[in-house]
Structure 1
């Protein structure tokens, strides 16, 4: 059975879909078969996948015939059943959930082995993120905070560090910087690990992929 990772954040603008896309590509490049489930009404991830197909880009793999990636647009009550079906035939399922506590978001959190919660290092984001953590707790699903869009050379203030601790959730060791390559790669239908293999952004995404696959 696949490892199911749901990327969830009820606050908009946290980089949820961007993180899901890059993470899925990075995991596929380790030789895993990855299915991405797009249940976000904006369908940005599905649009990225369609552009990738139009450009004729091959599915990411480890270069030795192992791995692969597919994206599935799913809506409504079918979510749980479709995720379960995909989990039978893939190593990993990544779910890009809606940005609000709708039925689909709750289902996406419920079916997950781990919920990744992207969090920008600002007080407003800290306050808004608690609702997502509460949802994961209510659904009895482990959550992992991922510091995302971290400004260059930025350090968390003591107050912010305390605030994170008060959330009561585990924080990923890997942090994702606010890097141009993350957006530029998507505009070319790629993940950042394909676009800039040895760049800092790629290294950060790979580190996060390794971390979430350990558990």
Structure 2
């Protein structure tokens, strides 16, 4: 039975597709069988797979939420579109919902709708702060704001690094030049797995 991780936020531009693909590459590199269901209308991951011949294990886009658990992967990542109804059906079968949030006041305020959805579904969930700028007190303020909404914020944060975008094409996140990004991603994957179980 597949473990389903839904990457969701009703706000666009939070890095859902980038995080999804980097987690996929991490899980594959560490021996897990993993697939991606690309439900985003932009089809970013599907197009990346087609245009760069990435050989991503894409789940049939017509797969129903009910059938997702029976797919022959250990982990299925669901990349969702940036609107509220896009992730809804998949939350009912999710083992975990990961909510990427950029550390800005507008992004923090925008999570109310996705929090309502995950709380209604009764699914484990947490926010990961994404594209974090170094040496700013704003990140801590945003963390406190989100925690005040009653939502867990992961200890792991994803810093604003070119390595994450570059790795989508070159699969080089684990190279020596990208060591900091690789450590962050490993920490993210392991923190999600711990919370999911």
Q: Secondary structure at the match of 1:72?
A: coil
Q: Does 1:179 align with 2:164?
A: no
Query: What is aligned with 1:115?
Result: 97
Q: How does the TM-score come out when normalised to structure 1?
A: 0.82
Q: Does 1:92 align with 2:71?
A: no
Cα pair distance change 1:71/1:191, threshold 3 Å: farther
Rounded to whole Å, the distance in 1 between the matches of 2:6 and 2:124 is 10
Query: What is aligned with 2:46?
Result: 46
CA contact (8 A) 1:39 1:73 kept: no
Q: Choose 176-185 or 5-14, whichever is displaced more.
A: 176-185
Q: Say what the alpha-carbon RMSD is for the aligned residues.
A: 2.0
Alpha-carbon displacement from aligned partner over 1:163-213 (angstroms, at most 9, x marks no partner): 12212111111110010111122233x3633x5575211111111011111
Query: Among 58, 78, 82, which residue is 1:71 paired with?
Result: 58
Rounded to whole Å, the distance in 1 between the matches of 2:176 and 2:144 is 35
CA contact (8 A) 2:6 2:87 kept: no
Instruction: For residue 111 of structure 1, report the CA deviation from its aligned partner.
Output: 1.4
Instruction: For residue 82 of structure 1, report the CA deviation from its aligned partner.
Output: 4.2
How many matched pairs? 195
Q: Secondary structure at the match of 1:90?
A: coil
Matches within 5 A, 1:140-179: 140-156=122-138, 159-179=141-161
Cα pair distance change 1:145/1:127, threshold 3 Å: same
Instruction: For residue 132 of structure 1, report the CA deviation from its aligned partner.
Output: 0.8
- Give structure 1 stretches of 5+ with no counterpart: 60-68
Q: Does 1:213 align with 2:189?
A: no
Cα pair distance change 1:36/1:21, threshold 3 Å: same
